[in-house]
Amino acid sequence: MDLDTIDAWDFELPVDRIASEPPGRRRDSRLLHVQADGRLHDRQFPDLLGLLQPNDVLVFNDTSVLPARLDAERQTGGRVELLVVGGVKESDWSPTAPVMTTMVRSNRRIRIGESIRLKDAQGEVALTRGPDAQDGLATFHFEGELFALLYRFGRLPLPPYIEEQRKIRGQDVVQEQDKTRYQSVVAAVEGAVAAPTASLHFDEGFIIAAQQKGVDIAKVTLHVGIGTFRPIRHDRLSEHAMHSEVCALEESTAAQLRNARARGGRIIAVGTTVVRTLESFAQADGSWRHGQHATDIFIRPGYQFLGTDALLTNFHLPKSTLLALVAAFAGYDKTMAAYRHAIASRYRFFSYGDAMFLEGAQRRAFQ
């Protein structure tokens, strides 16, 4: 099969397998354990503790989701929905940046130079559209401090399928539980417009138990933006370009990763955003760069992993870059077999869904 064709990444997912609500507790989810040889084991998420080994390091993404979705209206009264996804340049993503890149949903195209106002803002906050950005996005000039505006007028940018299901049921789109459950317990650095969902399964008790077992906890930052969830709109994966996202890995974290490998431990990425960060900083000689930069890395079959020994992740959309990343790590046939098993066994998919733990076929040992 030609894995560069988009059709290779399609599968049929029944609607009732899509999770629109979180489980009762963070750890109340299922876990599909995919061994390196392809064997599958149906487990519960707390069973992950038994799969971890002393000297392993769990690497989390500590980004925090902003209330980045804004309801606005035109001077004519037409409704506009904005999702602030970052700066005009990745380095511009900051609390005070006056010009931000947004995704726009409106019945009619908003003209360059047209002003709109935030809904319920009583005219005190106007946004002026600037020149078009690339990839169908638009730039807006924000009046006032951006993060203050978002926390005052914005709402959590839950995935569209969750919002649509709740509208069908006549529920509030964003519920009180989402304010905590759509954030991980390690969330600390503001800047994401979507949650690093693999980390949503962890509670403080699990993390403490893992540390007591001798597992180290490390944190990196990748502000989840359009680069992570932007759909592939081409017939071939090689034609898809990732939108850059800001990521960071501290010098102390680089030391943790280096020491874990020296002790024979595994570097276990909690989520695909962590994989993209690790692979953006890992070096072929086993060393690690550190600092902050923008990454547009697109990991798909054929990629040679340097910084990831095992992966914990949720189940992803068909025809997505995230599914291609998982298959690059575990192998295409094993990944698709695991997905077929998960669908048949009624695992829950996407952000509030269940998890899978994939062990790498090879463990790199650097001294």
Q: Looking at the structure, do residues 253 and 116 belong to the same domain, yes or no?
A: no
Does residue 315 form part of some domain? yes
Taking residue 204's Cβ as centre, other Cβ atoms within 10 Å add up to 10
pLDDT of residue 329: 97
| Residue among 294, 318, 301, 295 nearest 238 (CA) | 301
**What is the SS3 assignment for 6?**
helix
Among 91-100, 143-152, 245-254, whose mean pLDDT is lowest? 91-100
Q: Looking at the structure, do residues 118 and 199 belong to the same domain, yes or no?
A: no
Does residue 56 form part of some domain? yes
What mean pLDDT do residues 347-363 have?
89
pLDDT of residue 63: 95
Q: Any idea what the CATH number is for the domain that residue 116 is in?
A: 2.40.10.240
What mean pLDDT do residues 26-35 have?
97
Q: Looking at the structure, do residues 136 and 73 belong to the same domain, yes or no?
A: yes
Q: Are 290 and 247 in contact (CB under 8 A)?
A: no
Using pLDDT thresholds of 50, 70 and 90, give the confidence band for residue 139.
confident
Using pLDDT thresholds of 50, 70 and 90, give the confidence band for residue 93.
low
| Residue among 60, 53, 57, 62 nearest 267 (CA) | 57
Q: Considering the chain, what is the average pLDDT of its residues?
A: 89
Among 59-73, 81-95, 154-168, whose mean pLDDT is lowest? 81-95
pTM for the complete prediction?
0.92
Using pLDDT thresholds of 50, 70 and 90, give the confidence band for residue 124.
low
Q: Are 352 and 265 in contact (CB under 8 A)?
A: no
Q: Where are the alpha helices (DSSP H) in the chain?
A: 48-51, 146-153, 160-168, 178-181, 204-212, 226-229, 251-262, 272-281, 321-330, 332-344
**Listed residues 113, 137, 153: the one ending a domain:** 153
Q: Looking at the structure, do residues 124 and 268 belong to the same domain, yes or no?
A: no
Taking residue 76's Cβ as centre, other Cβ atoms within 10 Å add up to 7
pLDDT of residue 365: 44
Residue 87 vs residue 218, higher pLDDT: 218
Residue 103 vs residue 212, higher pLDDT: 212
Residue 16 has pLDDT above 50, yes or no: yes
* Count of domains for the chain: 2
Question: 177's torsion region: left (phi>0), alpha (psi -120 to 50) or beta?
Answer: alpha
Does residue 161 form part of some domain? no
What mean pLDDT do residues 165-173 have?
90
Does residue 271 form part of some domain? yes
Domain membership of residue 187 as a residue range: 6-65+178-359
What mean pLDDT do residues 135-150 have?
76
Q: Looking at the structure, do residues 229 and 255 belong to the same domain, yes or no?
A: yes
What mean pLDDT do residues 39-62 have?
98
Which span out of 141-145, 297-301, 359-363 was modeled with the highest average pLDDT?
297-301
Residue 114 vs residue 13, higher pLDDT: 13
pLDDT of residue 120: 75
Using pLDDT thresholds of 50, 70 and 90, give the confidence band for residue 88.
very low
Contacts of 319 (CB under 8 A, 6+ apart): 6, 9, 10, 231, 232
Q: Are 311 and 275 in contact (CB under 8 A)?
A: yes
What mean pLDDT do residues 58-62 have?
98
Q: Looking at the structure, do residues 214 and 228 belong to the same domain, yes or no?
A: yes
